[in-house]
Amino acid sequence: MNNFTLRTITGSAFVIVIIGSVLINHWLFASLFFIVAMIGFWEFSRISRSLNAYPSKLTGLLLSALTYLLIVFWNFLLIPDQSLYFLLLVPIIIVVVELTRKTSTSMLNVAMTLFGLIWVVIPLAMLSGFFNLAEDHKWRETGLLLGFFLILWINDSGAYIIGSWLGKHKLLERISPKKTWEGFFGGAFAGLLVAYTISSSFTEFSIAEWLLIGTAIIIFGTIGDLAESMFKRNAGIKDSGKILPGHGGVLDRFDAVLIAAPVVYIVIRLLRYIN
């Protein structure tokens, strides 16, 4: 089986699982991304070793689980706002654990463990806040999350196709040699077209608001992609893992989400407050 076929099969299964979990139940989606977040943090910890940092994997995973669950329960309106104060203890716990370890890179270990939580775990947990649990109509409840992934995927596909066909001017060659400005604008056009199209079905937000959300997804999704490429380049590796045949690891597949999700989360919280 060639790599293109393998990527297609894995990608199709990946899309079906995510969309299915969104439509079936918000708890199913949160459970699926709990697994994704844990694997993502594990990959991050492993890659960090190539940068001479040695985060405690066990402590990191336990704190990742606690952080993820607190944010999800808060987003699902099951715990009060004050519960999030427990997250302030996370850096203290990391420092205390590091004091018990015999390493020469203690501060770097602390910094990378915290960065892994902030960059990988928290953004994936914030996706649970995209559900509008105040709505009874299924499309309005799940529409934002479906729209988020559709715009993200179409933007990525459009950038790849247009970039491969017309790409001449490099976007950021020292980080990602294959990305071009032509690909970026081609993907942006495709993504905004999707945002405009779905606005008639996912009516929680107006056309203008969907275009704003789409613009945030496109810009910050691209930054997320470049950020992960920079991380891997510094670590001297090609893929973050091998769990997704033809695609690499979790960080490879969700790199755009890790930066786009927090920004879009802020945008939608503001829009919901205004509306």
User: Of 23, 21, 25, nearest to 13 (Cα)?
Assistant: 21
β-bridge mates for residue 244, sequence order: 248
Instruction: Please state which of the ranges 177-181, 182-186, 253-257 shows the lowest mean pLDDT.
Output: 177-181
Nearest to 261 by CA among 70, 68, 76, 126: 126
Residues 29-65 pLDDT 10s: 999 999 999 999 999 999 998 888 888 889 999 999 9
Q: Are 83 and 73 in contact (CB under 8 A)?
A: yes
Model confidence at 246: pLDDT above 60: no
Percent of the chain with pLDDT over 90: 60
In this prediction, residues 157-176 reach a mean pLDDT of 86
Output the pLDDT for position 266: 96
Torsion from C-alpha of 243, 249, 251, 252, nearest 10 degrees: -140
User: 4 is written with which tokens?
Assistant: 């293109």
Torsion angles phi and psi, residue 84, rounded to 5? -70, -15
- The H or E element containing residue 172 is strand 170-172
Distance (Å, rounded) from C-alpha 167 to C-alpha 179?
8
Count of the separate structural domains present in the chain = 1
Contacts of 34 (CB under 8 A, 6+ apart): 65, 68, 69, 72
Burial 55-67 (b: 16+ CB within 10 A, else e): bbbebbbebbebb
Domain that holds residue 232: 3-274
